[in-house]
Every structure is written in C-alpha cells, then in structure tokens.
Amino acid sequence: MPLLDIKPLRDWPDARLGYDFDSDADKPVLILAHSLGVHRGMWAAALPALRSRWRVLRYDLRGHGESASTDSALSVEILGADVLRMADQLGLARFAFCGVSLGGLIGQWLGNHASDRIDHLFLANTAMKFGETAAWNVRIDLVREQGLSPVIPGTLERWFTADFRRAQPEIISTIRAMLTNCSPAGYLACCAAVRDADFRSTAAQIHAPTLVLGGSFDPVSTPADSQALAAQVRGARYVELPAAHLGAVECPELFSQAMLAFAA
C-alpha cells in the first residue's frame, strides 16, 4: 500500500500516512477520515456509492492502520494540518471532506481554517466538544496501563445498536479486529486530540457547504450534539440516520445517499 511522507511543520513531528487514492482523475476528490481506534478500512461498505460521484482518498490517521505511530500527544490542529499537507503533496487544490467522530473534529478544524478549499463538508457522528476532560483522562490512564482490551467491549456497544450487533457479527468482528490491532500509543495520542478539541466558540466560522449526519441511537455524539453543531454552522443541513455512532458502517447506503443528495 502507498505511504505518504508528511514533512515537519513548525514544531510538529513528521508523519508517514497510509492511504488509498482512486485513479479516476476526471471526478472531484472526496477525502475520508475515520474514527478513533479503527482505520481507513471502516469505509469499505460505503465506497461503491461514493465512487459514483467522487474520486475517493482514504487515509489512516497518525498512529492508526498503516500510518506511523507516535509517542507524543496529538491535537486536532496537527491532524487537520496533515490533511492540508497531504492534499498539497497530491496536488489537490480543492476537495470534499467527510470525517466520522474524531474525523468530524478534523473536519471542523478544516472548516475553520480552509473552508475556501472545501467543496462540501460532511461532519458525521461528531460534536463540537466530546465529553469531559476528566473522563478522557480516565480512559487514557486505563489504556496506558492495560492496553485497549478493557475499552473494546464498551466501544462496540456504543458504536452499534444491539440489533445490528446481533444481525451482523462478521462486521462487528472486523471492527473489533481494527480496535484490537490499533497501536496503543497511536490511540492514546489521538485520545488527547479528542479530549482537547473544542469548537463551541468557532463552529459558526465554518462557511463551506456543510451536511451534519447524526445517529438516532448514538450515545457518543447524541442527536442533540449533532443538531447543536448543525445549528451553529451557517446554512448547514442536518440528516439523522437510524444508527448508533458509526452510521457509515451500520447503514452505509443511507449514509452515502445523504452525502450524494447534498452534493447534488
């Protein structure tokens, strides 16, 4: 698989990012950013529909999948800058961007700092602020001491409805394997990024055309969180899907259809 070297910027470390980039240069580009603890493979079920309109660029966040890990805490600013430098190195002046959960935080940063480069912004199952700092510190300490194993069962319960977990055990096993194989150091570094991100005072500055996708049964970024985000972004539309936290996996057809309808 291809790897992209992201050169150091300011005092930020360099990075090597794993990615897949479709070859159809006649279509506009869509960049996909995944959730905490998984990798770019989470988009598999949504790809066929998305590729009907876009040339898709999927990548692994730092410390996830095939991307190089790091022992240093990360910020959404660093992760967002990675997207811009990746786009620059691949010669992409403009693109659409879809991020889920942590990826949606990255999307909010991009909307604040690079709206002029974004054709359409899709913020899925995300919030302006995720939880309380103390709760994130408890999780960080647990993973640092015991690895990811203790947090995986609860993560799967929050990410997918009980009906979906019963009906689709193979998909659940695939996501569980992603979490199990995630680098603990990379997970911890990105936990810090989620913990510290707060767009409550800046979401109104996003001026890219924006669709917020929520999940009716999402306990992580609740429908109220998603609606509050959509209310802050000028002109944003809101679509709620019958899913929990990973709508792109639980109902990929509806997820993709919502994106395609908005872009059309």
Q: What is the pLDDT of residues 169-228, one digit of tens each?
A: 999 999 999 999 999 999 999 999 999 999 999 999 999 999 999 999 999 999 999 999
What phi and psi, each to the nearest 5 degrees, are found at residue 78? -65, -45
What phi and psi, each to the nearest 5 degrees, are found at residue 72? -95, 145
pTM for the predicted model, two decimal places: 0.95
Please provide the CATH number assigned to the domain covering 3-263: 3.40.50.1820
Rounded to whole angstroms, how far apart are CA atoms 107 and 114? 10
What would the pLDDT profile of 215-257 be if each residue is shown by its tens digit?
A: 999 999 999 999 999 999 999 999 999 999 999 999 999 999 9
pLDDT at 8 over 60: no
Rounded to whole angstroms, how far apart are CA atoms 118 and 30? 10
What is the average per-residue pLDDT within 57-76? 89
Alpha-carbon torsion 20, 25, 27, 29, what sign?
A: positive
Closest CA to 253 of 96, 72, 45: 45
Rounded to whole angstroms, how far apart are CA atoms 213 and 241? 7
Read off the pLDDT band of 5 (50, 70, 90): low
Q: What pLDDT shows up at residue 73?
A: 84
Angle at 261 between CA 159 and CA 102, to 5 degrees: 30
Rounded to whole angstroms, how far apart are CA atoms 12 and 240? 37
What would the pLDDT profile of 73-111 be if each residue is shown by its tens digit?
A: 899 999 999 999 999 989 999 999 999 999 999 999 999
Please report, for the chain, the start and end positions of each structural domain, with discontinuous segments joined by +.
3-263
